[in-house]
A and B are shown apart, each in its own frame.
Chain A
Amino acid sequence: MAPRIGIAGIGHCRFGNSSDYDLVDVIAYSANDALYDAGGLALRKQVDQVFVGNMAGGMFNHVTSAASALVSRMDMEPCPAELIENGPASGASAIKMGYMAIAAGMADVVLVAAGEVMRSVSGWEATNIVATMSHTEAEYNMGLTLPGFAGMFTRLYMEKYGMTERDLALVAVKDHANGALNKYAHVQLPVTIEAIADGPEANIVNNYIAEPLRMYSTCPITDGSAAVILVNMDSPKAKLFTKKPIMRIAGIGSATDTHCVHNRKDPLVLDAVRLSSQMAYKMAGIGPKDISFAELHDAFVIFELLNSEECGFFERGKSFIGVRNHETDIGGRIPINPSGGLKAKGHPVGATGVSQVVELVRQLRGEAEEGRQVKDPKYGMAVNFGGFGNNVITTIVAKD
């Protein structure tokens, strides 16, 4: 039987523009922050394994082998360290690897740190680099970018379920309201529905990026890092981590789907999200109704809606109705993206999965800022996308 595995420390930098900094320094910032949070920098000597999540440091920053560099930068040699790359799900994958290392008995304390510095290149180049995760011949070489893909995806959903562009804007208004209160968010700016959807200037203030997706339907290009300290709660080493209550990882699930989106029977069905969430629910012994709040991968706001359906929070095609009814607000039935989500908090691709789990822990500890703290949460859930829904990791964290 696997030991109980929990999160004893969390670290996070302010997301935004870190292009003046070295990628490894950006990751080290959050790793140090997590060690401080867990009890102090000296605890780094207790770490048995380091996993680093990063998607494209080789392309964005001309930096490879970031895990090797990190342990050296943090004076942690000879601790084993590996780099985990799984597209924008690299962060959640790194946490999963950390969990597996402890569950396998190969480690009792694992540092998982993840980061990405994307603004070192132009916005076009960043979009181009991210697009390399699509199918080379069928998608990338045809000029398809992730915003282009998401635009077509959104149009399909609108035509099938009757969602409007205004519904997309309502998601953005909610996410930005949360992000405005999050000290780590890239865009700490509330937006109004009048300004981005209803008003006479909305068409230009909230301009099209890839019709029907507009500027406020898409995440910004963001730099940043996040880190967690995983511990075997049943090991003697756990007694070293007493500064903060340890939050237990109750469930992890992951699944893949076809690389080519056109090979899916229904492009609007995200099998990997549904299957990974079902695995996580099963491992945790709970269901959607037990989840207190969720951080869902909303690189484009349509994903927040789709994910919330695949995770079982809403019937298929009904999630935008829930947004209209404020069911996903902080005080609603199932608060979604209390951090501001990728939309407002930002999406430094390789770091996002760890950042989401940091938010779960902040909420479960009751450490979120006033106005965006979910009331008495017990279970938090994070869904991290790699690719266009083709490689998904779901993590459930519990407050016991």
Chain B
Amino acid sequence: MAVDQLEMKLRPPAAEMASYPSKLITLASGEKMVVRECTHKDVGALLGTVYPLLAVSKDYYDIVAARMYSEILGWFRYRVANEFVIVGAINGEIAGIVTSRHVKEGEGMSLHTLTIKRGLRVGAQLFAAKMEHHIEYLKENEVHIVAESPIGFKRWMIEYELEDRSAQYPGLRHELGGVPTFTLTRKLWDAIKAVKCTGTRPVPAELLKTAEKLTMPNEYVQLPGWKREG
């Protein structure tokens, strides 16, 4: 069997997925964050951005970074079905990343949200963008979500008033293990999107261009004193 045929057998089936239209959010600092869906050409900058955070235990950055690293790699090397990656970039520099997966018609699986630039609700905006993609563009009716940090639990489970589906375990369980599964339904989304999801479309061409080539942050507030070499 030829290698490429074997490789095709290793790859998961791919569903037709709508793309996520880019949008622009003005953060409290006045900085313009372009939110767009990633393509495989972004993978180097994405992995390079995530990697240093493997060393940060505070606020569970290590576990989120480790899992997101593998999710991005799995997406790039065709080992995860129907995954998508959305990034927030300020002047091209990555401010936050979200990963997620379309499971089947009407159902999605939220993976991770990683905030690089803190204090400006970047993570909250990107999580909302991820949910927007699931429900508005992929036309799903339910998205399963877990939290791996107290911050995530407050931001998603409480603020979105997600349905607690943990009693349905093991019949319904999130792919990230046995942690309690919560669900955003279309009904919940319709009730809350006006106060959670924002962004201006279309993004002006000159701003969209700034986010074409993503760059890695040279410093992280999560890693005081750390600087990217080279």
Tally of chain B residues near chain A (CB < 8 A): 20
Q: Report whether B28 and A206 are in contact in the complex, using a CB–CB cutoff of 8 Å.
A: yes
For the complex, give the distance between the alpha carbons of A335 and B191 in Å: 43
B29 and A201 form a contact (CB under 8 A): no
> What is the total of A-B residue contacts with beta carbons within 8 Å?
58
Q: Does A302 belong to the interface (CB within 8 Å)?
A: no
A205 and B25 contact, CB distance less than 8 A = yes
Q: With a CB–CB cut-off of 8 A, which chain B residues contact A204?
A: 125, 128, 195-198
The verdict on A216 contacting B154 (CB below 8 Å), with A187-B119, A201-B199, A203-B198 known, is no
- A103 in contact (CB, < 8 A): no
A199 touching B26 in the complex, CB below 8 Å, given contacts A204-B196, A204-B197: yes
CA distance A187 to B28 in the complex (A): 12
From 1 to 55 in chain B, residues with beta carbon under 8 angstroms from any chain A beta carbon are 25-30
Residues of chain B contacted by A195 (CB below 8 angstroms): 26-30
At the interface, yes or no: B150 with Cβ under 8 Å from chain A? yes
Pick from B26, B58, B119: contact of A205, CB below 8 A: B26
Whether B195 lies near A203 (C-beta < 8 A) is yes
Q: Is the CB of B27 within 8 A of A205?
A: yes
CB of A189 within 8 A of CB of B26, answer: no
Q: Known interface pairs A189-B119, A191-B30, A192-B30. Does A201 touch B154 (Cβ–Cβ under 8 Å)?
A: no
In the complex the two chains form, what is the Cα distance from A202 to B198 in whole Å? 9
Interface residue ranges of B109-168 to A (CB < 8 Å): 119-121, 125, 128, 150, 154
B218 at the interface (CB under 8 A from A): no
Residues of B within 8 A of A202 (CB): 26
Set of chain B residues within 8 Å of A189, measured between Cβ atoms: 28-29, 119-120
Q: Are A205 and B195 in contact (CB under 8 A)?
A: no
The residue on A at minimum CB distance from B23 is A201
Q: Which 3 A-B pairs have the closest CB atoms?
A: A192-B30, A204-B198, A201-B198
9 A-B residue pairs with CB within 8 Å: A124-B154, A190-B30, A194-B30, A195-B26, A196-B28, A203-B198, A204-B198, A205-B121, A215-B121
Partner of B200, one of A124, A191, A201: A201
List, in ascending order, chain A residues with CB within 8 A of B28's CB: 189, 191-192, 195-196, 205-206, 216
B29 partner residues in chain A, CB cutoff 8 A: 189-192, 195
Q: Name the residue of chain B whose CB is nearest to the CB of A169.
A: B28
Contacts of A206 in B (CB 8 A): 28
CA distance A153 to B119 in the complex (A): 26
Cross-chain contact A201 with B120 (CB below 8 angstroms) = no
Nearest CB of chain A from residue B21's CB, rounded to whole Å: 16
- Residue interface mask A117-132, B partner, CB < 8 A = 1: 0000011100000000
Residues of A within 8 A of B198 (CB): 200-201, 203-205
Complex Cα spacing A76 to B120, Å: 43
Q: A189-B119, A205-B25 are in contact. List 6 more A-B contacts (CB 8 A).
A: A122-B154, A190-B30, A191-B30, A196-B28, A201-B200, A205-B120
Say how far B154's CB is from chain A's closest CB, in angstroms.
7
Shortest beta-carbon distance, B12 to chain A, in Å?
A: 35
Q: Does A390 contact B (CB under 8 A)?
A: no
A114→B114 CA distance, assembly (Å): 35
- Cβ B195 vs Cβ A207 within 8 A: yes
